[in-house]
Amino acid sequence: MANDMSQNPEFQSLLKQVVEEAIPFCRLIGLQVQSFASDQPELRLAMRNDLLGNFAQGMLHGGVIASVLDSVAGVAILLKLAQTQPREDAYAQIREFGLMSTIDLRIDYLKPGKGNAFIATAEVTRLGKRVANVLMELRNEEGERIATGAAAFMLHGRA
């Protein structure tokens, strides 16, 4: 697409800043943007002791898993909007992030959250006028699928 804002370096820099610095919880857990692919973005999380749920077995907290999957879903929607409905500039495009909210989130925990690092990916399965649907996945650095998820987001301010 000629006006694909998702691959605009300024937009990508703003998105990285929002995820890694501006969203307090994402900053707290250490989320990092690894890929800006509009069909399957990636966020990375390094394991730290303060992210453990089961400290005796060294497993990532289930709430952290859910939060990471929720976050990558939001990034996927924002990138899909930037690709299919580009705004006039990077700042207008990044403001779309503030116009969406999670309205449904389902997480399936498949394996214990063990690993040194985790990669979350997401795919937008439907981008409607008011609601977007997303499928997400979290794998550890060995490629083991730890959890999957499905989410629906309200796109506020859209007709």
Two tokens at 21? 């610095």
Cα gap 27→17, rounded to integer Å: 10
pLDDT in tens, 4-52: 899 999 999 999 999 999 999 999 999 999 999 989 999 999 999 999 8
For 18, how many CA atoms within 13 A lie in the half-sphere containing its CB? 19
Position of tokens 């997400």? 136
pLDDT of 157 above 70 = no
